[in-house]
Homo-oligomer: A and B are copies of this chain.
Amino acid sequence: MSRPKPLSGFPELAPDARIVEQFVLDRLRETFELHGFGSIETRAVEPLDRLAKQGEIDKEVYAVQRVAAEPGSRAELGLHFDLTVPFARYVLENAGQLAFPFRRYQIQKVWRGERPQEGRYREFTQADIDIVDAGTLAAHHDVELPLVTLGALERLHTDLGVPPVLMRVNNRKLAQGFYLGLDIADPPAVLRQVDKLDKIGPDRVTALLTDEVGVSAAQAASVVRLAQISTPDESFVDRVRGLGVQHPQLDEGLELLAEVVRAARTHVPGRLVADLKIARGLDYYTGTVYETELVGFEGWGSISSGGRYDSLATDGRTTYPGVGLSIGVTRLLAPLLGRGFLRASRSVPTAVLVAVESEESRWDAVAVAEQLRARGIACEVAPRADRFGKQIRYADRRGIPFVWFGGADGEVKDIRSGDQVPATATAWTPPAADLRPQVGAAG
């Protein structure tokens, strides 16, 4: 075998970076569970026709087929490219057994055959939360989900030093109602142009609206003025009202978005704004839409997005509306790890290396290790009965802070300070900061 090369777009973490990722995933899981979300995992593959959008299978989907398949036969399965499509299928398949509203989180890898570039991966991890109900889903869940997500991201900020985030929220009904109130015939066509506002600016969007969508100059001006409204508080409501457009859907959208902003100001102050240009593509979202950037790293794109879908799934008799948010774990972590912004204090879980004096006494060292482990202290026994200096270097290379010498009544050395003290394997405990690898912003 020759030395293999990495596959572009399929990032693999070194052991110390993986410790950071585990730390993040553990905290996400804990936050989700504290809010009553249960875990599910779905299989990696779906029938290809379920992965189709508007009847067409995206060319970036990975098809999966046994090598044993007939040559030339068509693949029937594909790797999931998000966790929403599989979740919708899971809900339909298990509707009879699930208790609605059903709250689930799902942390899994997904695959997209995109052209690899920074921030774009072919295999990456997402952490999704969704609430889905049968028939109707209460509007307050649109307020709840961003609070849970922002709470999770805030823990990564305070516990790890991940940069703070800003979530931008809009409501499809607000824009839709506004356009209808302006007597615009084709709101989705307008939304498609508004979605380009950040990229091409208001003048070119206005031109596209009049030239391509065929709205009047006055209508286009109102549309662009609406999209330019962004406020960290409820003042956006008055600013929209000031544009003088009336429609029941507009009222509905304003009210719900105001409630999201109000709740966020209480629970996660400074982390959420109403931003009326946010469109989030045109797929399944029908109400609130969310996207989230890392403050100071806006160019990395949205690290957490989602929205409300009035019909996540339907089996013809029952419709299942949902609201969900997805955290792009790889998209968030890969650049932070790659740039060295986050690091683990060591590359192994081990807190103590138990030194071995001679191969004959190896089992005495194992007995010490067992006593430490019984009290939750991760340790390993030195692999070779080298001279102690070499065993200490073994620990040093891995960042293991302590080396144990002798039997159960022995001595323990902090190899950073060089301090060595008598210690008993049934009683000695390392300082809390050394018990597990610490994860944080690089100093």
Closest to A69 in B: B63
Q: How far is the CA of A18 from the CA of B94 in the complex (A)?
A: 14
The 8 Å CB contact of A45, one of B35, B37, B123, B347, is B123
Tell me if B63 and A67 are in contact (CB < 8 A). Answer: yes
Tell me if A7 and B45 are in contact (CB < 8 A). Answer: yes
Q: Using a CB-CB cutoff of 8 Å, which residues 19-66 of chain A contact chain B?
A: 19, 22, 33-45, 47-48, 50, 57-66
- A2 contacts which chain B residues (CB < 8 A)? 315-316
Asked whether A67 and B72 contact (CB < 8 A) given A14-B94, A94-B14, A99-B398, the answer is no
Q: Cβ of A225 < 8 Å from any Cβ of B?
A: no
Binds B, one of A181-189, A247-255, A275-283, A374-382: A374-382
Q: Cβ of A290 < 8 Å from any Cβ of B?
A: no
- A12 contacts which chain B residues (CB < 8 A)? 40-43, 90
- A57 contacts which chain B residues (CB < 8 A)? 67
Q: Cβ of A199 < 8 Å from any Cβ of B?
A: no
Asked whether A50 and B397 contact (CB < 8 A) given A45-B10, A68-B113, the answer is no
Asked whether A34 and B373 contact (CB < 8 A) given A66-B63, A67-B63, A123-B45, the answer is yes
- A90 contacts which chain B residues (CB < 8 A)? 12
Tell me if B35 and A378 are in contact (CB < 8 A). Answer: yes
- A379 contacts which chain B residues (CB < 8 A)? 34-36
Q: Cβ of A430 < 8 Å from any Cβ of B?
A: no
A351-384 contact mask (Cβ, 8 Å, vs B): 1 or 0: 0000000010011001000100100111111011
Interface residues on A, range: 35 or more
Asked whether A140 and B39 contact (CB < 8 A) given A61-B67, A315-B2, the answer is no
The 8 Å CB contact of A44, one of B1, B13, B94, B109, is B109
A77-104 contact mask (Cβ, 8 Å, vs B): 1 or 0: 1110000000011101111011101011
Closest to A112 in B: B66
Q: Cβ of A348 < 8 Å from any Cβ of B?
A: yes
- A362 contacts which chain B residues (CB < 8 A)? 140
Q: Cβ of A350 < 8 Å from any Cβ of B?
A: yes
The 8 Å CB contact of A15, one of B64, B104, B123, is B104
Q: Cβ of A416 < 8 Å from any Cβ of B?
A: no
Q: Cβ of A267 < 8 Å from any Cβ of B?
A: yes
- A133 contacts which chain B residues (CB < 8 A)? 383
- A67 contacts which chain B residues (CB < 8 A)? 48, 57-63, 78, 113
Q: Cβ of A3 < 8 Å from any Cβ of B?
A: yes
Tell me if A103 and B348 are in contact (CB < 8 A). Answer: yes
Tell me if A92 and B3 are in contact (CB < 8 A). Answer: yes
Closest to A385 in B: B138
Closest to A351 in B: B36
Q: Cβ of A6 < 8 Å from any Cβ of B?
A: yes
5 contacts between A and B (CB under 8 A): A7-B43, A14-B94, A35-B379, A103-B380, A144-B381
Known: A13-B41, A14-B94, A140-B359. 16 other contacts (CB 8 A): A1-B88, A1-B313, A1-B314, A3-B93, A12-B43, A13-B40, A19-B38, A33-B349, A34-B349, A34-B373, A44-B109, A61-B66, A63-B64, A63-B65, A66-B113, A138-B383
